[in-house]
């Protein structure tokens, strides 16, 4: 699985002009299941996201995790993280099939919740608008293939 995480002071996702999910401080997690991914990858990625020390401590250093800060996660499915960009038109054949992608997306969100983190989500497969204030800015790419 792949995830692009952004530290935020506030974020929301809307579908057809209606807010589907919204958080205050925490992380926006854009997530994509890849072909061949399974439950192990979803759980590993959730554990990595909630424990990644990218929030400032008292000395101003990135030394605190989402668990340490009590922040929330806005989890949004984004199959375009599977983009193959060899040519000028991206291909997405390495993304998981939609049914499996949705299952793993939901498993990932539940695994994050299982760590005691408040989770808001978008709507899988919908055309969404994501708004966030990227705090820092801090943006980090995670991939279970390179763990």
pLDDT digits (tens, 9 = 90+) for 104-119: 999 999 999 999 999 9
Q: Which CATH number does 2-146 carry? A: 3.50.80.10
What pTM value is reported for the model? Answer: 0.96
Q: What is the mean pLDDT of the chain?
A: 97
- Beta strands (DSSP E) in 57-114 are 62-64, 72-77
pLDDT of res. 147: 85
Which single residue is written with the structure tokens 């375009």? 80
**What is the set of active-site residues?**
78-80
- Work out the average pLDDT over 33-58: 98
- Alpha-carbon distance 71 to 51, whole Å? 12
- Alpha-carbon distance 100 to 35, whole Å? 9
> Cα dist. 20→8, 109, 122 in Å?
17, 14, 6
Q: Predicted confidence band at 36 (pLDDT cuts at 50, 70, 90)?
A: very high
Spell out the domain ranges in the chain. 2-146
Whether 135 shows a pLDDT value over 90: the answer reads yes
Q: Output the CA torsion sign for 98, 100, 101, 105.
A: positive
Residues contacting residue 6 through CB under 8 Å, at least 6 positions apart: 27, 28, 30, 132, 134, 137, 138, 139, 140
pLDDT > 90: percent of the chain: 99
């Amino acid at each position: 699985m792949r995830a692009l995480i952004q530290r935020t002071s506030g974020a929301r996702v809307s579908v057809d002009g209606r807010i589907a999910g919204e958080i205050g401080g925490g992380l926006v997690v854009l997530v994509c299941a890849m072909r061949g991914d399974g439950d192990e990858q979803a759980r590993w990625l959730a554990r990595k996201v909630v424990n990644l020390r990218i929030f400032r401590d008292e000395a101003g250093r990135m030394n605190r995790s989402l668990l340490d800060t009590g922040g929330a996660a806005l989890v949004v499915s984004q199959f375009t993280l599977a983009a193959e960009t060899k040519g000028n038109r991206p291909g997405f054949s390495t993304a998981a099939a939609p049914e499996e992608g949705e299952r793993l997306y939901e498993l990932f969100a539940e695994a994050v919740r299982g760590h005691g983190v408040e989770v808001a989500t978008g709507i899988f497969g919908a055309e969404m608008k994501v708004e966030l204030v990227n705090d820092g800015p801090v943006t980090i790419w995670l991939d279970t293939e390179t763990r």
